[in-house]
Each structure stands twice: as C-alpha cells, then as structure tokens.
C-alpha cells in the first residue's frame, strides 16, 4: 500500500471512530436531559394531576347530588312505602361506604409486586398503575397496605415516595379488587405500564391474579381538619 | 481534517435521529463513551507520532468500550463502585492523550 493510501485509510478509520463517539455523545446527552427534565417537572405534573382529579371529583359529586334530588322528587310524587325506600337507601349507603373506603372489603382481584432496587420510580409511575387499574374496573386499591381514598395523592420528594403524606417503602405491593383477568391484562399488556417500568434499572414487576384479596379501610388522616360540615338538613 | 468531519457527521446524526436510551443503560453508555473517546484520542496521538496500527486501534476501540461497560455491570452486581475506577482510569488517559496531541500540534506550529 502506498504511503498516501495508508494515510487516507488511517484518517478514514479515525473519522469513523469519532463519528461513533459523536453520535454516542449526542444521544447520551439527550437521554440525560430527558431524565432530568422528567424529575424536575414531577412537582408541576403532580399539581396538574391533583387539580384534574379534584375537578373530576367535583363533577362526580354534582352528578350524585342531582341523582339524589331526582330520587327525592320521585319519592314525594310516588306511593312507594317508606320502609322499602329506607331499605333501598341503606343498601346504597353500604355500597357507597365500600366504594369510598370506609369499610374493610374482600373479593377477587390482583396483587402487583414491584421491586424498586435503585429507587428510580417517581409518583407518576405509581399513578399510572392506579389509573390503569381504575380504568379496568378496580373498585378498591391499596398500596403497601394503605387503602387509596377516591382522591389520593402519590408523589416523590427527597428521593422518597409518599401516599397521602405517608412515606412508602421503595419496594411496593399494590392490591386491587375487581375482575382479576382484566386488571392483570391492563398491567401486563405488551408495551404497557409493566414493560415501561421494567426499562428502568432495578425495577421488576410481578402481577398475580387472586381469588380473594382483603383490603383494610382508609386510615383516618391525623391532624386538624381544614373544613367542617355545615348543617345540611333538607328543609321541608 | 477527515476525523473532524467524521465527528461532526456523528453529532449531526445524533441530532437528526432520536434514539431512545433506557435509563438503566445510560450509565453503561456513558462509561463506554469515555472509553471510546480515550481510544479515539489515542489513535489520533499515534497517527501524529507516525506509529498508528489499525489492528491495534480497531481492536482497542471495541474491546475497551465493551470492557468498560462490563466493569460497571460487574461493579453494580457486586455492590462496588467500579464505575469510579473506570472514570478515573479513562479520564487520566484522555487528558494525557490531549496533552501529547497539544504538544505535537504546537511543536509543528513552532517549526
């Protein structure tokens, strides 16, 4: 090989190596930026989600109130005897207390165990699991034995995960009541939430369908309540 | 000149194509890149010294990058921060190579 050709060959090999280095540096920098942005924006995303949930709750309560008013009008206008109406209302109250977490509940469901060895999970990851479960028919959910109320806050602060101000262990156990197969499929769907979380280092997600899961009632939050109920007696 | 063009093409390709890197892989890619940079600078220095051997360079480039990532993986599994050892070793070599390249270029300019 002539000296000129040797120089070109050397230069070409070095150019190729540096091209790989340049390409690698850019994709590494971009992925690092994305990760930082995600962690920094977590607080803001939390607020947006909480406000969104509160708006949803308000709409739900308005709907419930309207239904109850319609029932009251129907009761006034009909000849249904008072005892039958009382029984029906009591049954509805029992169902509602189960739904909002006022009583212990048991039934078929799923158990999701999440190993979070490097503590990389953020509040958004857990909220996505909860949303997937709710969308698939879960009517009661608990995380590390803490039952979720209808509007629970899950966030990360100073490297720790919190559920309604309670610190959670980095490894998580989520239990949900509902149709077991549907709930399990919602999590294990290809390219779904499990696949997404398992791209994080040290994260492993195991989902088990259970014939019976028992969840405790929502623990009462400590501290002084910021609001007090007003007299809501219906004026006849 | 050609190596510089190669570097610019690589940066351009990186900007043009969005290649997702899973978070768990970022650590390994980072140390592999440091090893690759060390090999590339070593190759440039060898070229300037007139003793570039393409077999040694190509072998070193791929073996160093793979081995650097492997060291970090082994360290993670053993619970030892071997990552730091690799960063220090490659970091020192990068600066040594840069110093030699600088001296060579300044020497040529002085002549």
- Secondary structure string (H, E, C) spanning A181-201: HHHHHHHHCCCCHHHHHCCCC
Q: How many residues does chain B have?
A: 111
On whether any CB of chain A is under 8 Å from the CB of B43, the answer is yes
Predicted pLDDT at A8: 83
What is the side-by-side order of every strand in the sheet holding A154-157? Answer: A154-157, A160-163, A166-168
Q: Is the pLDDT of residue A49 over 80?
A: no
Tell me the pLDDT band of A40, cut-offs 50, 70 and 90.
Answer: low
Residues in A touching B18 (Cβ below 8 Å): 30
Q: Do A10 and B29 count as a contact with CB atoms less than 8 A apart?
A: no
**CA–CA separation, A177 vs A180, rounded Å?**
8
Closest-CA residue of A relative to B34 is: A21
H-run or E-run covering A109: strand A105-116
Predicted pLDDT at A64: 81
Query: Domain residues of chain B, as ranges?
Result: 2-110
On whether any CB of chain A is under 8 Å from the CB of B16, the answer is no
Compute the mean pLDDT over every residue in chain B, rounded to the nearest whole number. 86
H-run or E-run covering A23: helix A3-40
Residues in B touching A19 (Cβ below 8 Å): 6-7, 9-10, 13
On whether any CB of chain A is under 8 Å from the CB of B91, the answer is no
Of A167, A169, A164, which is closest to residue A221 (Cα–Cα)? A164
From A15, A25, A27, residue closest to B2, measured CB to CB: A15
Tell me the pLDDT band of A170, cut-offs 50, 70 and 90.
Answer: confident
Q: Do A26 and B14 count as a contact with CB atoms less than 8 A apart?
A: yes
Q: Is the pLDDT of residue B104 over 90?
A: no
Q: Is the pLDDT of residue B9 over 80?
A: yes
Q: Do B18 and A30 count as a contact with CB atoms less than 8 A apart?
A: yes
Highest mean predicted confidence (pLDDT) among A45-49, A62-66, A82-86, B6-10 = B6-10
From B8, B24, B40, residue closest to A14, measured CB to CB: B40
**CA–CA separation, A173 vs A53, rounded Å?**
23
On whether any CB of chain A is under 8 Å from the CB of B21, the answer is yes
Predicted pLDDT at A224: 41
Q: Model ipTM? A: 0.87
From B7, B29, B44, residue closest to A28, measured CB to CB: B29
Q: Do B14 and A10 count as a contact with CB atoms less than 8 A apart?
A: no
Lowest mean pLDDT segment, chosen from A46-50, A184-188, B14-18: A46-50
**CA–CA separation, B4 vs A158, rounded Å?**
43
Q: Is the pLDDT of residue A225 over 50?
A: no
Q: Is the pLDDT of residue A233 over 60?
A: no
Residue A172, beta-bridge partner list: A114
Q: Residue A85's Cα: distance from chain center in Å?
A: 37
Which of residues A130 and B27 earns the better pLDDT score?
A130
Residues in A touching B11 (Cβ below 8 Å): 22-23, 25-26
Could you read off the pLDDT of A105-115 as tens digits, one per residue? Answer: 899 999 999 99
Compute the mean pLDDT over every residue in chain A, rounded to the nearest whole number. 79
Can you give the pTM of this predicted structure? 0.47
Question: Residue B33 to residues A176, B3, B30, B69, B94: CA-CA distances in angstroms?
Answer: 44, 17, 5, 9, 12
Closest-CA residue of A relative to B26 is: A28
On whether any CB of chain A is under 8 Å from the CB of B98, the answer is no
For the segment B49-76, the average pLDDT, to the nearest whole number, is 89
């Amino acid at each position: 090989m002539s000296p000129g050709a040797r120089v070109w060959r050397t230069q070409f090999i070095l150019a190729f190596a540096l091209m790989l280095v340049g390409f690698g540096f850019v994709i590494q920098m971009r992925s690092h930026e994305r990760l930082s942005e995600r962690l920094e924006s977590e607080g803001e995303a939390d607020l947006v989600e909480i406000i969104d949930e509160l708006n949803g709750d308000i709409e739900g309560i308005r709907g419930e109130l309207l239904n109850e008013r319609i029932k009251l009008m129907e009761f006034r206008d009909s000849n249904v005897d008072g005892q039958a109406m009382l029984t029906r209302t009591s049954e509805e109250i029992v169902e509602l207390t189960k739904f909002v977490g006022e009583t212990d509940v048991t039934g078929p469901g799923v158990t999701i165990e999440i190993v979070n060895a490097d503590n990389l999970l953020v509040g958004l990851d857990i909220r996505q699991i909860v949303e997937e479960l709710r969308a698939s028919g879960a009517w009661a959910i608990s995380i590390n034995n803490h039952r979720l109320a209808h509007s629970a806050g899950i966030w990360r602060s100073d490297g720790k995960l919190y559920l309604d101000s309670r610190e959670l262990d980095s490894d998580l156990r989520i239990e949900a009541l509902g149709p077991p197969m549907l709930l399990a499929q919602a999590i294990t769907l290809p390219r779904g939430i499990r696949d997404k979380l398992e791209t994080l280092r040290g994260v492993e997600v195991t989902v088990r369908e259970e014939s019976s899961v028992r969840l405790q009632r929502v623990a009462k939050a400590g501290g002084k309540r910021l609001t007090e109920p007003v007299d809501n007696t219906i004026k006849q | 000149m050609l190596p510089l063009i190669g570097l610019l093409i690589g940066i351009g390709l990186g900007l043009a194509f969005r290649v997702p890197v899973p978070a768990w892989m970022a650590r390994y890619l980072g140390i592999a890149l440091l090893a690759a940079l060390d090999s590339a600078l070593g190759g440039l220095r060898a070229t300037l010294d007139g003793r570039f051997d393409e077999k040694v360079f190509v072998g070193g480039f791929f073996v160093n990058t793979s081995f650097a990532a492997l060291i970090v993986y082994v360290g993670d599994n053993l619970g030892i921060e071997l990552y730091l050892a690799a960063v220090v070793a490659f970091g020192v070599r990068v600066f040594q190579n840069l110093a030699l390249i600088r001296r060579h270029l300044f020497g040529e300019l002085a002549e």
